[in-house]
Amino acid sequence: QAKITGRNRYHFFDADLDEQVRTHHNRRTEVRAALRGGEMRLYYQPKLNMRRGRIVGMEALLRWQHPERGVVGPMDFLPFVEHTDLIVDIGEWVLREALRQLQSWRGFDPDWVVSVNIAARHFQRNDFVERLTAILAEFPDVPPYMLELEILESSALSDVGHVRAIMLACQALGISFALDDFGTGYSSMSYLKRLPADVLKVDQSFVRNMLVDRDDRHLVSAVIGLARAFELGVIAEGVETVAHGALLMRLGCDLAQGFGIARPMPSAEVLPWVSAFDTAPVWQAAALLPPI
C-alpha cells in the first residue's frame, strides 16, 4: 500500500515537474519576444539626500509593459530568465536604455548618478568588461561616473577573486558599485573586506520595521557604521515615511530611496517630478533632530 502511494506520488510529482518546465519555457519565450518587441521599459526611482534636500540620482528598475496584463514587475518575469543567457540580453538592453536616458538628463544635472541592477550571471561573464566598454563607447557624451552598478552580495558567492577583478576593471572606467540588499546575505562581512564597493544599500526589510523592531534598528545602525568604517557611501531603501527618514539621518545615513519620497516612475515623469519636488519642509526639519 505504502509503495503504491509512493509511486503515485512520484508520478504526480513528475507530472508537476514536467508542467513546470513547460511553463518556464513558455515564460522565457514570452520574455524574449517582449524584449525584441520593444515592450520593456525602465522606470526610475529618485534617490534623495534628505539633509541637503537634493535629488542625487535615480535607480533604474525594469518593467514589462504587457499589451494585456499592463505593467509587470521584474519579480514576475526575471526569475524565469536569470539563469539563462536571456538575462544578458536584458541586462545589455537596460544598460543602453539607462545610458540613452542619461544623455538627456546630463544637461539637467550632471551630478546625478543612475544605478542599474546587474544579475550575477551577466556580471560574472568573462566578456562583461569588454562589452560594457563597447556599450559606453556608444554614448560618448555620458561620463561613466554617472553610471553605478548594483550587485547583490550573492553575485560574488562562487568566485570572489573573479568578481573583485571585474569590479576593479569597471571602476577603472569610472563606474561605481553599490552592494544591493546589503546585510541579507550570509557573508556580508568577508565580502566587504574583499570587494571594492563604493556604496552599501541597506536592505529595505530592515528599514521597513526599524521604527518598531529594535533588532532591525540595530542592524540598520550596524550597516551604517560599517559603511563609515570602510569609508563607503550608504543609502537606505524602503523609506516609506518621514519618520523613517528622520531616524536614518540620526543614525548617520543621509541618502534615501523609497515610496515616502517617490515610487518608481516612467522616464517622462522624472524631470517634471524633480522640478516640483520640494523637500525643505519635511526632510530638513527632520534633519535637525539630534543624532542618536
Report the residue number, 95 or 287, with the smaller CB distance to Mg ion. Answer: 95
248 and 256 Cβ atoms separated by less than 8 Å:
yes
User: How many Å apart are CA 116 and CA 280, to the nearest integer?
Assistant: 28
Residue 254 binds to Mg ion (criterion: CB under 5 A): no
Report the residue number, 71 or 289, with the smaller CB distance to ligand C2E. Answer: 71
User: How many Å apart are CA 17 and CA 182, to the nearest integer?
Assistant: 33
Residue 117 binds to Mg ion (criterion: CB under 5 A): yes
Residue 148 binds to Mg ion (criterion: CB under 5 A): no
Q: What is the DSSP letter of 240?
A: -
User: How many Å apart are CA 92 and CA 133, to the nearest integer?
Assistant: 12
Task: Please report how close the Cβ of residue 140 comes to ligand C2E at its closest, in angstroms.
Answer: 23
Report which residue type is found at 270: V
Residues between 219 and 238 with contacts to Mg ion, criterion CB under 5 A: 237
Instruction: Work out what residue 119 binds among ligand C2E, Mg ion, none; the CB cut-off runs from 5 to 8 Å by kind.
Output: ligand C2E
Residue 150 binds to Mg ion (criterion: CB under 5 A): yes
Binding residues with ligand C2E: total (CB under 6 A): 24
Site string for ligand C2E, 180-199 (x = CB under 6 A): xx------------------
Q: In degrees rounded to 5, what are phi and psi of residue 59?
A: -105, 130
Residues between 154 and 173 with contacts to Mg ion, criterion CB under 5 A: none
User: How many Å apart are CA 54 and CA 255, to the nearest integer?
Assistant: 10
Q: Which of 179, 264, 279, 283 binds ligand C2E (CB under 6 A)?
A: 264
Which residues of the chain form beta strands (DSSP E)?
40-49, 54-66, 70-72, 113-117, 147-152, 176-182, 199-202, 233-236, 255-256, 265-266
Task: Please report how close the Cβ of residue 67 comes to Mg ion at its closest, in angstroms.
Answer: 27
Report the residue number, 95 or 142, with the smaller CB distance to ligand C2E. Answer: 95
- As a 3-state breakdown, the chain gives helix, strand, coil percent values, each rounded to 5, of 55, 20, 30
Q: Which residues sit at the interface with Mg ion, rule CB under 5 A?
A: 117, 150, 180-181, 237
Q: Which residues sit at the interface with ligand C2E, rule CB under 6 A?
A: 45, 61-62, 73-75, 78, 91, 94, 117-119, 150, 180-181, 204, 237-240, 257-259, 264
